[in-house]
Amino acid sequence: MIQPRKVVMPNPSPRAVPNQINPPQRLLMGPGPINADPRVLRAMSAQLLGQYDPAMTSYMNETMELYREVFRTENEATVLIDGTSRAGIEAALVSLIEPGDRVLVPIFGRFGHLLREIAERCGAEVHVIEREWGTVFTPGEIEAAIDKVAPKLLAVVHGDTSTTVAQPLDELGAICAKHGVLLYTDATASLGGNTFELDAWGIDVATAGLQKCLGGPSGSAPISLSARAVDVINSRKSIEAGIRVEGDAVSSSPIRSNYFDLAMILDYWGPKRLNHHTEATTMLFGSRECARLLVEEGLPQAVERHRLHGAAMATGLSALGLELFGDQNYKMNNVVGVEIPDGIDGDAGRAAMLNDYGIEIGTSFGPLHGRVWRIGTMGYNARRDTVLLTLAALEQMLRRGGVSVTGGSGVGAALDFYESEGDAA
């Protein structure tokens, strides 16, 4: 039956229609999100494809291959989770953890607390060890805790932007292997801008996001899983009723989430192409371009670029008289913390940077709030011009706020640093 023509009455209470998106120009020099590489945004403007269009599945396969290079792995199971970096963390943890499993979380910043929180919601028996913010654990401290707790899973943040330091992971894989422990790491803030070697370090599962060194928008979470992790997850596989056929797996302890069920997500990305969610095509296009640009540049080259500009920023900030926060031996390449000088209100200083210069710098969480600013140099914004502009504006903001600053000290030190590094622009 064809539905009859409907007489459409005018909308009785039309709401005002706001204008098109037209964001003010910002230079995002906080701990992320940062400005997206314009090439990533252009890739995201491509028209959509059907979910099983051969062109679409080819793009999915290429994306898997590109992220293998970004994670430095041969893992077949290297895909995207359709959500922000936090979605990637939850997909990893809820798929690995069965209620009652023991999980060890070394906490050295805000995102360690997040891992604990998510693992607890997965029903894990979570044990934590804690370190003062700005410091990291020795491998021995972590092994001692593993000895004591005998966890199924060690879940640890790599670079924690809340403290600007990165936990060294290179010895943890061997320790975990020795104790039969799975090793998960959240590499959201570090990947692409700091050395990260998934296979060489023996990491079982790593997740990331686009909004830091990858130079894209938040909303897609790359993940890579070792064969051992995939086995653990597949042992819990349940094909959902709506598409289940005779003989398909039905688990007695299914993964608690459908959306984050990596067993099903891997069947969707793998040769079976079993329908799960409708892939977020535009985010996939962006995610693919983030990785494509990194692979084109070369991962070691991208890490070196982050080191260079991160060090130039830190040098300039020191020369402005600001004290750097945290153990600088473990500083991430892409973000630096500075103590807010006496007499300056942290939020007012940030507001002045934003309103007067269009530059965003970061506040801090928890014990560091009001005490530390965080300044990033990552992804598309790991550049000489962004470093020098930020230092120039900071000098003006500090002076205006009553701090005694030597004119040109920050920019001068950074320029000298670039010269000493042979980067004479």
Binding-site residues, please?
374
Instruction: Give whole-number Cα distances, 86 to 120, 219, 370, in Å.
Output: 15, 9, 25
Stretch that binds its own copies, among 10-18, 134-142, 169-177, 226-234 (CB under 8 A): 10-18
Sign of CA pseudo-dihedral 95, 96, 100, 105 = negative
Q: Is 235 a residue that touches its own copies (CB under 8 A)?
A: no
Selected from 130, 304, 339, 416, the binder of its own copies by CB under 8 A is 304
Closer to its own copies by CB, 176 or 320: give it. 320
278 is a site residue for its own copies (CB under 8 A): yes
Among 47, 50, 45, 82, residue whose Cα is nearest residue 63: 82
The footprint of its own copies on this chain (CB under 8 A) covers a number of residues equal to 123
Q: Which of residues 331-360 bind its own copies (CB under 8 A)?
A: 331, 333, 354, 360
Establish whether the linkage from the previous residue to 33 is cis, with ω within 30° of 0. yes
Please, which residue, 204 or 289, has the CB nearer to its own copies? 289
389 touching its own copies, by CB under 8 A: no
Contact between 285 and its own copies per CB under 8 A: yes
250 is a contact residue toward its own copies (CB under 8 A): no
Q: What angle do CA 203, 295, 30 make, to 5 degrees?
A: 75
User: Which range touches its own copies (CB under 8 A), out of 58-66, 142-150, 226-234, 403-411?
Assistant: 58-66
Assess 101 for contact with its own copies (CB under 8 A): no
Q: Find the binder of its own copies among 1, 247, 252, 271 (CB under 8 A).
A: 1
- Residue 293 and residue 302: Cα distance in Å, rounded? 10
Nearer to its own copies, 44 or 77 (CB): 44
Residues pairing with 185 in the sheet: 156, 206
What's the distance, Cα to Cα, between the start and end of the chain in Å?
71
Q: Which of 255, 368, 378, 391 binds its own copies (CB under 8 A)?
A: 255
Asked whether position 124 contacts its own copies by CB under 8 A, the answer is no
Residues 163-222 within binding reach of its own copies (CB under 8 A): 209, 211, 217-219
Using rule CB under 8 A, residue 138 touches its own copies = no
Collapse the DSSP code of 328 into the 3-class scheme (helix H, G, I; strand E, B; otherwise coil) and give the result: helix
Closest CA to 121 of 97, 154, 105: 97
Give the x/- contact pattern for its own copies in 317-336, rule: CB under 8 A.
Answer: -----------xx-x-x---
Distance CA 202, CA 172 (A): 8
Q: Which is nearer to its own copies, 127 or 403 (CB)?
A: 127
Cβ closest to its own copies, residue 38 vs residue 402? 38
**Is residue 111 near its own copies by the rule CB under 8 A?**
yes
- Answer for which of 229, 230, 311, 393 binds its own copies (CB under 8 A) is 311
* Identity of the residue, 125 or 304, whose beta carbon is nearer to its own copies in the bound complex: 304
Binding residues for substrate: 374
From CA 413, how far away is CA 319, in angstroms rounded? 6
Tell me if 42 contacts its own copies by CB under 8 A.
yes
Shortest CB 361 distance to its own copies, Å: 9
- 24 CB contacts (<8 Å, ≥6 apart)? 358
The residue (of 295 and 392) whose beta carbon lies closer to its own copies is: 295
From CA 358, how far away is CA 78, in angstroms rounded? 37
